[in-house]
């Protein structure tokens, strides 16, 4: 099978679908050569005569112009300039009716010709082979050449195609009835047309150039064939007469069998189409330097006396052309711009000729019958059969009437070439093409409005963003201005920060110290701090050593009776020294226990009330230690005296046992007092609540009173018994046993008093909680402790006097009563809290009576 190029070279032609065969009526205007008209009285030159944007004006009202002078310059893409068709003067630049079915006003330049028809300076090109591609394109652009076959597409855009072009097709078909402008142009200017073809060959470099001419133009075919003999790449092809074979897409199908896709252009399939009139303008622009200022227009119709093709200046009014050819109007005369199939009726003959005007038709009523009223569609499908684009004209008409623009685009409305074949065959005389034109205009306007709306939205959003950004920048500037501070302020801020850091560190240290103090207090309260018993163990060892030395002295005394007096004196002195050491130790133990505990809370808390309480406690403890030393010193002379009076060693042992018992009792009383007072001091230093301070003071007073009563009761009851037992029994072993029994009973009595104290304390604490002043509570506690110490001291003195007067003689029955009392006290440990409370109250009453008797004895004492 032959390739496409071989088929084309052999002259093979193809058919396109649809099409009609209307009466040609070409013989009216092709019998005479092209005529040149006289200059018009006025030229109306629209700025927009093509597809694309208007040019920018270069002239003003009143300016003198020359023929061929550019009046505008390109200002945007697809923009072409317009040139002065003749020399003259610019009368005005205003809006005038456009060459459009709507005749909407367009900005136009009104020129008054001066009759001289004087050209401006032209720059023709002698050898086009010396020009570059860009230079040739610029010449076409500056000449203002647009497609002269119908649409008015800028020629320089086609000439600068970036897609490879395989076939360049020259459209000389001119299929529409009455129109013979291209036919006469090919007959008379075939050489210039071929020159234009060769210029396009240099720009596009196609493989083949195909010149299509209908078979009803034999003279034009012969002229073009003779002009193309020297160029073998140009092939002249005669095609059957059929309307609309002159359409761009239909001609491509006939000559190359290629089909342009929907919404596509011929360049997409490697084909480019140019009209013979456009190629003639290209040749004039390059070879002669003439811009596009005139063109061939067919003036025909039965109302024209001399139908003929004429050279019409761009901007000449239609009236000037009609008058020049002998126009004789009739009733209801119509003037059509274009052919009977694709032309449109002019609303006025004052519309100018533009670059795409190829025919002015002025028929009479018999020649071109006025269409009747529109009737209902009978669905004969004749329109669909005649459509060369294989569309559905009936469906498109329905969608156009209902303004369903989406459906119109879906059914490829813009593929319609507006050939009018459907309207021509419609039996219902429906103006289908008019519906399509209106719908296309509305869709274009709608899309333009959408584009404007989108651009307005973009501008609005851009403005909004800009305003927000400016506002944000202003806020940031205000913030930066507020954040700026002077140098002195910065220095002050640095000093303040340093002071704050120092305070924070001090606060951290105080917090650490407070935490340590609280931990110590908790351990002291819980009893988790174990007492150091090393000193007690040393003292115990010393006492054992003294006991052994005493036994050895006693044995030696019994063996040598001659030295009994000296030995007794030595024993008495040793006992006195031992008691003095014990008293000193008791004072040392009580004083150190007070000072650290009181010093610590006083250093931690700066409250003057707590400091006063701590000071009072310290003074009271110091007084107690001094009194204990006095008591010890008062006991030692008595014992020394008694030991000196009694030469019997047994009596000396009894006296020593009594002295040891008294010393232990005094030490235990001091320990109870010392253990109470630090706890109160610490609790009062930690708690700032005045009620808690009052409760602590009451508890301290209660413990002090109980300790005093214990000392008063236990001392007179135990000592006589021990004295008696020691005086009755001469055996030293028995004396030692009696002393141990006495110590055990004293410990049991102290324990019972502590239990009673724990039961009584809450009541007294509750009664004392009514006093809110911590200072008064502290003073009251100190006074109570002082009174208790004084009472204890007085009781000891009375006991010593009683023991001395009775000469250590007590009946055995009293010893039994004491044993029974101790047994009852030991049994009371198993009583209920209420019973213990009642027992404590009875004990307190008994102690009060004993105090009263002691006072009476003091009053009766003659000393």
Bridge partner list, 298: 309, 359
For residue 171, give the H/E element and its range: strand 167-171
Q: Is 228 annotated as a binding residue?
A: no
What does the radius of gyration of the chain's CA atoms come to, in whole angstroms? 71
Q: Is 426 annotated as a binding residue?
A: yes
For residue 35, give the H/E element and its range: strand 35-36
The distance of Cα 57 from the centroid of its chain, to the nearest Å, equals: 53
Q: 134 near 159, Cβ under 8 Å?
A: no
Q: Is 416 annotated as a binding residue?
A: yes
* Strand-strand pairing, 336-337 and 43-46: unpaired
Separation between Cα atoms, residue 818 and residue 843, nearest integer Å:
15
Q: Which residues contact 714 (CB under 8 A, 6 or more apart)?
A: 665, 746, 749, 750
Report the b/e string of 494-516 with b at 16+ CB within 10 A: eeeeeeeeeeeeeeeeeeeeeee
> Measured between alpha carbons, how far is residue 68 from residues 37, 86, 147, 308 in Å?
18, 7, 19, 26
For residue 312, give the H/E element and its range: strand 308-313
Number of H helices, E strands in the chain: 24, 16
Tell me the three state secondary structure of residue 68: coil
Handedness of CA 500, 501, 506, 508 (dihedral sign): positive
> Measured between alpha carbons, how far is residue 591 from residues 587, 604, 678 in Å?
6, 21, 11
For residue 93, give the H/E element and its range: strand 88-97
Separation between Cα atoms, residue 311 and residue 294, nearest integer Å:
6
Lateral strand order in the sheet of 43-46? 43-46, 105-113, 88-97, 64-65
Q: Is 359 annotated as a binding residue?
A: no
Residue length, the chain? Answer: 863
Separation between Cα atoms, residue 842 and residue 713, nearest integer Å:
13
Report DSSP letters for 435-496, one per residue. HHHHHHHHHHHHHHHHHHHHHHHHHHHHHHHHHHHHHHHHHHHHHHHHH---HHHHHHHHHH
Q: Is 175 annotated as a binding residue?
A: no
* Bind-site residues: 377, 380, 383, 387, 416, 419, 422, 426
* Bind-site residues for [4Fe-4S] cluster: 377, 380, 383, 387, 416, 419, 422, 426
């Amino acid at each position: 099978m032959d390739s496409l190029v071989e088929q084309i070279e052999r002259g093979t032609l193809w058919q396109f679908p649809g099409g009609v065969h209307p009466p040609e009526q070409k013989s009216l205007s092709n019998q005479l050569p092209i005529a040149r008209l006289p200059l018009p009285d006025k030229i109306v030159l629209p700025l927009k005569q093509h597809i694309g944007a208007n040019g920018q004006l270069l002239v003003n009202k009143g300016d003198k112009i020359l023929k061929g002078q550019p009046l505008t310059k390109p200002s945007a893409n697809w923009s072409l300039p317009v040139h002065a068709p003749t020399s003259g003067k610019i009368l005005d630049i205003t809006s005038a009716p456009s060459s459009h079915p709507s005749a909407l006003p367009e900005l136009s330049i009104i020129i008054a010709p001066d009759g001289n028809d004087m050209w401006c300076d032209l720059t023709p090109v002698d050898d086009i082979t010396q020009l570059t591609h860009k230079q040739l394109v610029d010449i076409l652009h500056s000449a203002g050449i647009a497609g002269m076959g119908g649409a008015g597409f800028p020629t320089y855009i086609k000439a600068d195609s970036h897609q490879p072009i395989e076939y360049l097709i020259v459209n000389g078909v001119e299929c529409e009835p009455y129109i013979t402008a291209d036919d006469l142009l090919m007959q008379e200017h075939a050489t210039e047309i071929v020159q234009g073809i060769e210029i396009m060959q240099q720009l596009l470099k196609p493989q083949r150039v195909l010149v299509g001419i209908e078979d009803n133009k034999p003279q034009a075919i012969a002229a073009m064939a003779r002009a193309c003999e020297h160029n073998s790449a140009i092939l002249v092809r005669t095609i059957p007469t059929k309307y609309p074979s002159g359409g761009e897409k239909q001609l491509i199908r006939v000559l190359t069998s290629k089909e342009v896709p929907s919404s596509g252009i011929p360049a997409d399939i490697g084909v480019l189409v140019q009209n013979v009139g456009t190629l003639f303008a290209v040749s004039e622009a390059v070879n002669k330097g003439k811009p596009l200022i005139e063109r061939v227009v067919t003036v025909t119709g039965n109302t024209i006396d001399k139908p003929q093709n004429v050279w019409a200046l761009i901007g000449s009014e239609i009236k000037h052309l009609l008058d020049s050819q002998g126009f004789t109007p009739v009733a209801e005369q119509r003037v059509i711009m274009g052919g009977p199939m694709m032309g449109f009726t002019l609303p006025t003959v004052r519309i100018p000729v533009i670059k795409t005007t190829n025919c002015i038709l002025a028929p009479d009523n018999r020649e071109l019958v006025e269409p009747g009223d529109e009737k209902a569609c009978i669905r004969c499908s004749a329109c669909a059969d005649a459509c060369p684009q294989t569309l559905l004209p009936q469906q498109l008409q329905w969608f156009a009437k209902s303004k369903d623009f989406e459906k119109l685009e879906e059914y490829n409305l813009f593929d319609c070439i507006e050939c009018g074949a459907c309207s021509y065959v419609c039996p219902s005389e429906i103006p289908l093409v008019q519906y399509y034109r209106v719908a296309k205009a509305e869709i274009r306007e709608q899309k333009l409005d959408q584009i404007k709306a989108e651009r307005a939205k973009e501008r609005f959003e851009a403005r909004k963003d800009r305003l927000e950004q400016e506002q944000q920048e202003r806020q940031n500037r205000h913030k930066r201005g507020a954040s700026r501070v002077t140098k002195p302020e910065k220095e002050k801020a640095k000093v303040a920060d340093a002071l704050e850091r120092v305070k924070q560190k001090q606060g951290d240290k105080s917090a650490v110290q407070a935490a340590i103090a609280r931990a110590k207090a908790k351990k002291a309260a819980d009893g988790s701090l174990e007492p150091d018993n090393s000193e007690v163990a040393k003292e115990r060892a010393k006492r054992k050593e003294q006991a052994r030395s005493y036994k050895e002295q006693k044995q030696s005394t019994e063996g040598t009776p001659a030295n009994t007096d000296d030995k007794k004196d030595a024993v008495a002195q040793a006992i006195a020294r031992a008691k003095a050491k014990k008293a000193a130790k008791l004072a040392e133990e009580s004083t150190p226990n007070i000072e650290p505990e009181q010093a610590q809370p006083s250093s931690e808390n700066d409250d003057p009330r707590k400091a006063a309480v701590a000071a009072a406690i310290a003074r009271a403890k110091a007084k107690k230690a001094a009194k204990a030393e006095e008591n010890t010193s008062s006991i030692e002379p008595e014992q020394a005296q008694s030991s000196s009076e009694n030469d019997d060693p047994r009596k000396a042992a009894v006296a020593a046992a009594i002295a040891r018992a008294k010393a232990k009792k005094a030490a235990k009383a001091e320990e109870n007092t010392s253990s109470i007072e630090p706890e109160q001091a610490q609790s009062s230093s930690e708690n700032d609540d005045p009620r808690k301070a009052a409760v602590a003071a009451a508890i301290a007073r209660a413990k002090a009173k109980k300790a005093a009563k214990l000392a008063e009761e236990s001392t007179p009851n135990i000592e006589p018994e021990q004295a008696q037992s020691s005086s009755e029994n001469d055996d030293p072993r028995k004396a030692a046993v009696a002393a141990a029994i006495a110590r055990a009973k004293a410990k049991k009595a102290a324990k019972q008093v502590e239990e009673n104290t724990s039961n009584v304390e809450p009541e007294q604490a509750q009664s004392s909680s009514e006093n809110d002043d911590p200072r008064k509570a502290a003073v009251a506690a100190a006074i109570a402790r002082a009174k208790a110490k004084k009472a204890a001291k007085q009781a000891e003195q009375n006991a010593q006097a009683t023991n001395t007067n009775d000469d250590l003689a007590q009946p055995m029955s009293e010893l039994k009563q004491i044993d029974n009392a101790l047994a009852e006290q030991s049994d009371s440990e198993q009583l209920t809290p209420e019973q213990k409370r009642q027992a404590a109250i009875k004990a307190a009453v008994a102690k009060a009576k004993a105090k009263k008797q002691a006072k009476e004895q003091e009053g009766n004492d003659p000393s």
